[in-house]
A and B are shown apart, each in its own frame.
Chain A
Amino acid sequence: MEKDDLLKDDFIGRLIKDSSPEQPSDGFVDNVMEKIRMDPEMAQVRQPYYVILRSVIPYLILALICALIFFTSDLPFLNWLPGKEYWSNTFLPYFEMIFSGVKNALSSKYVSMGILIGFSVLFLIFIDHIMMKRKGSFRHHTLV
């Protein structure tokens, strides 16, 4: 539409179109095809990680697993809503057990040192991952 407006009675445009375009050398096409023959690898399309979320399959699998559990277990699904009693008598003691276990483990200096080293390594891997990602995006910035 905008182009039509600009081209309306566009005498200059007609003259420019008729003028001879700049042309590369005669062997241009052959040179390009030769370069392609030397390096014919096409870049593979990288699928973004979130594309899998758009697929129906993971949701179907999830639904199947839920259905399987629902129909094969004898858990009381229909009266599942937990009351206050359930939290205080069943759930909290479990947490208490887990926390006391962790507390015991951390009280050992060897375990603490191991965890510290583990976290440091993970942190360095994470930083390296971010830096490599940025470097990669600079390399391909000219591509659409």
Chain B
Amino acid sequence: MKNQDDIYYIDRVLEGDVSAYAVLVSKHKNLVFSIALKILGNREDAEELAQDCFLKAYQSLKTFEKKSKFSTWLYRIVYNAAISKTRKKKLEFVPMDNYIIHNYTEDEFTAGIDEIDAEEQKVMIERAMQNLTDDESLLITLFYKGENSIEEISNITGLSMSNVKVRLHRIRKKMHEELSAMMEKRLN
């Protein structure tokens, strides 16, 4: 449904209605900016890169074949441009045993955090996200905020699907531990 909306506006742009592109920019600006920011680590650079990527996407709109979602295509442009700008290495495969995954019970955690009010929950989750590495933060943003599937994230980042899945699983557990530690601190 969401992608159908994008296609509608893309068609309008291709028919000559340039102002329709503003709708697409407005809809995707936060995620595009987030991706750029997570890779570049600087708000000014991220904003400039995000704007350039929107311009680049506009100029290449005729080459968008509509086989994938517009957002996936756009995020891939941003990801590649940001990686090129920083000359940073692309996301790498990390073997499974690099992290120690502790056991936890989901119910205990959920019950505990439910007692905390929404504002404090937001602060806690933002603090936990700050403790993630840039790569981890990027993946979690693409998955949860961008609502991209494993396959789409794989297309954007060039990681294999199984690698994306493993990494997301690991990041979730890592965040779970961070939040559990924060809650313990709060209770004590």
Contact = CB atoms under 8 A, between A and B. Distances in A.
B110 interface: yes
A25 B29 CA distance: 10
B115 to A, nearest CB: 13
Given A2-B165, A11-B109, A23 B55 contact: no
Interface in B1-45: 18-19, 21-22, 25-26, 29-31, 33-34, 37
Nearest to A140: B60
B30 A21 contact: yes
Contacts of B34: 21-22
Given A19-B125, A24-B33, A39-B55, A45 B63 contact: yes
Contacts of A37: 18
B59 interface: yes
B66 interface: no
Interface stretch (A27-35, A56-64, A84-92, A110-118): A27-35
Contacts of B143: 3, 6, 13
Contact of B106 (A9, A16, A19, A142): A9
Nearest to B84: A142
A81 interface: no
Contacts of A11: 106, 109-110, 113
Interface residues of A, number: 38
A128 interface: no
Contact of B149 (A2, A17, A24, A33): A2
A18 interface: yes
B176 A12 contact: yes
Contacts of B37: 22
A41 B56 CA distance: 10
A6 B153 CA distance: 14
A21 B54 contact: no
B30 A15 contact: no
B145 A16 contact: yes
A34 B81 CA distance: 21
Interface in B155-178: 161, 165, 168-169, 172, 175-176
A115 to B, nearest CB: 43
A141 B144 contact: no
A28 B80 contact: no
Interface string B103-115: 0001001100100
A24 B47 CA distance: 6
Nearest to B36: A24
